[in-house]
């Protein structure tokens, strides 16, 4: 027997794969048999398609009843019979009775109506994919029913990759569809134009919800052909170190970046997630070592953006909390460079969470203050009277060197010497340490444990909760070292 080229090709793909289709169901009758929670899930997937959904079931669950009451579906409380398939384009068998489901599949097959039988790939002539939706832009994933969990896993990965604004971008392109076709009748040329637009300013404007500006930029790109290729800067908060604390936006910006300017506070684990062929520039300062001055950072951002690069300015924590993000935006604005800001989890949030310290608490603290006191001059400008009030939590950034002054001023202004504190060193990282005690002994305890930067001081009644609520890394070290029953690792490290 000689095989035709077609059978040879398909036998290599055995078992055959499914053919992906996107069906236009507007106004078309879709029958769903069953009205429990599984059926409801399928019905939900069908609702936004404009299909005329008819549900047949002997009994219906609350969700299906509510949809019927709202007039969004038609519900018939009846047993399945074949005539219900008349005029149907598609049927979903979602009863909990395998015999009925098989009967539906057979009847559908006989009438050439596509059928999906829940949890039964063999009986189904169509399968419903796992879907990532961005408005009308959809990515559908199928494992041919062989491994739905794998499809779901892939779906989750794609969810993280695709920006939410893609649905809006689709609507924008549709509005200009005729003009685009008229301008570029030649397909390869049209394709190249799309490529340029998609890497230009338009998607960025849509992401920033500047819909009118995006419309104008697209119109410009059509009229002048030249797509604006000005670079841009995204100020991204990298969080405290644990890469799991990045936002999806941050991850996407790191994926797109041509140039990444990062601080020393940005962890290696976070940098490892960035686009491999991006240019990495370390502008961080490490005590005693050379660092790029703030003006130099501005110049670098501007230079790369003006050359058309997508620059990510990556900062520890949040860019707007003691991160000089404001100054950087001013510098960009002065040069007319587009920017976006992606917030990050600031050290106070992260350290508190990872040490089991709620920053506010009904019984102990009704407000939180983020404070920095890294040098004498800035400490003198602080409102120590206000900071010494009780029932508030203070989070001191960059405070390791000035702990004595913090203690003395707070106590002098009336904060109780018995107020608990916790110092969180390397918060959220593998080497996180938490040291606790009371304000009276703050500098001494920190010195005993050789606390080093980066460390955050949390002061207030809530700090005492770390002893009970800690969950991450080593348990808190409390008090002075001579109180400790056994000399511990930090002591060795201090030596």
| Region binding ligand SAH by CB under 6 A among candidate stretches 86-94, 115-123, 383-391, 450-458 | 450-458
Residue 103: in which H helix or E strand, if any? helix 98-111
> Tokens at residue 75, please?
């519900």
Residue 33 or 400: the one with the smaller Cβ distance to ligand SAH is: 400
Q: What is the x/- site pattern for ligand SAH, positions 181-220, by CB under 6 A?
A: ----------------------------------------
Q: Which of 34, 200, 203, 316 binds ligand SAH (CB under 6 A)?
A: 316
Report the distance separating Cα 359 and Cα 369, nearest Å: 10
Query: x/- site string to ligand SAH, residues 72 to 111, per CB under 6 A?
Result: ----------------------------------------
State the pairing for strand pair 232-237/338-342.
parallel
The distance of closest approach from Cβ of residue 241 to ligand SAH in the complex, given in angstroms and rounded to an integer, is 5
Of 398, 406, 422, 442, the residue at the interface with ligand SAH (CB under 6 A) is 398
Q: Which residue is nearest to ligand SAH (CB)?
A: 317
Asked if 125 touches ligand SAH (CB under 6 A), the answer is no
- Determine contact, residues 382/389, Cβ cutoff 8 Å: no
Under the criterion CB under 6 A, does residue 402 sit at the interface with ligand SAH?
no
Least distance to ligand SAH, CB of residue 29, Å = 56
- In degrees, rounded to 5, the angle at the alpha carbon of residue 427 between the alpha carbons of residues 425 and 432 is 65
Q: How far is the CB of 430 from ligand SAH (least distance, A)?
A: 11
Q: How far is the C-alpha of 376 from the C-alpha of 32, rounded, in Å?
A: 72
Measured from the CB atom, the residue of 125 and 453 that comes closer to ligand SAH is 453
Q: Does 322 bind ligand SAH (CB under 6 A)?
A: yes
Contact with ligand SAH (CB under 6 A) among 29, 262, 315, 449: 315
Q: Which structure tokens are listed for 179?
A: 């003009």
Site string for ligand SAH, 35-74 (x = CB under 6 A): ----------------------------------------
From the list 359, 373, 455, 477, which residue makes contact with ligand SAH (rule: CB under 6 A)? 455
Separation CA 355–CA 473 (nearest Å): 9
DSSP 155: H
Residue 120 and residue 406: Cα distance in Å, rounded?
67
- Tell me the residue length of the chain: 495
Task: Work out whether 476 is an interface residue with ligand SAH (CB under 6 A).
Answer: no
* Inter-axis angle of helices 62-69 and 37-47, nearest 10: 40
Tell me how far CA of residue 348 lies from CA of 396, 397, 476, in angstroms: 8, 8, 17
Smallest separation, CB 145 to ligand SAH (Å): 45
The yes-or-no answer on residue 448 being catalytic is no
Kindly calculate the radius of gyration of the chain based on its CA atoms and give it in whole angstroms.
Answer: 31
57: its two tokens? 């079931």
Under rule CB under 6 A, which residues in 240-299 are in contact with ligand SAH?
240-241, 265
Element (H, E) at 314: strand 310-315
Catalytic residue among 168, 242, 263, 448: 263
Query: Residue 277 CB: number of other CB atoms within 10 A?
Result: 7
Of the listed 163, 258, 285, 467, which one is catalytic? 285
Specify burial of residue 142 (Cβ count, 10 A radius: 0-12, 13-18, 19+): middle
Phi, psi of 100 (to 5 degrees): -60, -45
Task: Please state the closest distance from residue 343 (CB atom) to ligand SAH, in A.
Answer: 9
| 209 catalytically annotated | no
Counting contacts by CB under 6 A, is residue 317 touching ligand SAH? yes
- Hey, which residues are catalytic here? 263, 285
Footprint of ligand SAH on this chain (CB under 6 A)? 240-241, 265, 315-318, 321-323, 346-347, 351, 397-398, 424, 426-429, 453-456
């Amino acid at each position: 027997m000689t095989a035709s080229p077609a059978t040879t090709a398909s036998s290599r793909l055995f078992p055959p794969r499914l053919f992906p289709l996107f069906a236009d169901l507007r106004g078309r009758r879709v029958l769903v048999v069953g009205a429990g929670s599984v059926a409801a899930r399928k019905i939900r997937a069908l609702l936004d398609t404009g299909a005329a959904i008819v549900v047949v079931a002997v009994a219906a669950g609350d969700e299906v009843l509510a949809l019927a009451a709202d007039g969004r579906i038609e519900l018939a409380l009846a047993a399945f019979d074949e005539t219900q398939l008349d005029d149907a384009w598609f049927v979903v068998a979602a009863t909990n009775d395998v015999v009925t489901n098989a009967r539906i599949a057979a009847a559908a097959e006989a009438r050439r109506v596509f059928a999906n039988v829940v949890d039964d790939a063999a009986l189904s002539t169509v399968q419903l994919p796992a879907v990532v939706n961005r408005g009308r832009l959809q990515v559908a994933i199928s494992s041919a029913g062989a491994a739905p969990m794998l499809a779901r896993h892939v779906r989750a990965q794609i969810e993280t990759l695709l920006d939410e604004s893609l649905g809006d971008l689709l609507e924008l392109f549709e509005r200009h569809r005729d003009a685009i076709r008229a301008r570029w009748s030649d397909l390869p040329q049209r394709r190249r134009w799309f490529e340029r637009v998609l890497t230009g300013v338009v998607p960025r404007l849509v992401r920033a919800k500047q819909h009118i500006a995006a419309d104008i930029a697209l119109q410009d790109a059509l009229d002048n052909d030249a797509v604006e290729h000005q670079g841009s800067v995204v100020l991204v908060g990298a969080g405290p170190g644990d890469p799991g604390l990045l936002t999806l936006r941050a991850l996407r910006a790191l994926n797109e970046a041509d140039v990444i300017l990062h601080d020393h506070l940005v962890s290696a684990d976070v940098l490892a997630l960035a686009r491999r062929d991006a240019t990495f520039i370390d502008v961080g300062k490490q005590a005693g070592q050379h660092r790029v001055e703030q003006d130099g950072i501005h110049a670098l951002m501007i230079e790369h953006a003006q050359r058309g690069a997508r620059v990510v300015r990556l900062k520890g924590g949040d860019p707007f909390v003691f991160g000089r993000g404001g100054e950087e935006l001013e510098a960009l604005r002065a040069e007319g460079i587009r920017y976006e800001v992606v917030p990050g989890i600031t050290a106070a949030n992260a350290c508190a969470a990872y040490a089991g310290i709620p920053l506010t608490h009904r019984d102990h603290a009704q407000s939180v203050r983020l404070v920095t006191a890294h040098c004498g001059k800035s400490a003198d400008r602080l409102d120590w009277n206000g900071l010494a009030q009780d029932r508030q939590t203070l989070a001191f950034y960059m405070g390791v060197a000035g702990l004595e002054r913090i203690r003395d001023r707070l106590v002098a202004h009336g904060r109780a010497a018995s107020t608990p504190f916790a110092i969180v060193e390397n918060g959220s990282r593998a080497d996180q340490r938490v040291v606790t005690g009371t304000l009276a002994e703050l500098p001494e305890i920190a010195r005993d444990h050789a606390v080093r930067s980066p460390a955050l001081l949390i002061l207030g009644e809530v700090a005492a909760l770390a002893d009970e609520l800690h969950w991450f890394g080593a348990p808190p070290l409390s008090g002075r070292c001579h109180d400790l029953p056994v000399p511990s690792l930090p002591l060795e490290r201090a030596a």
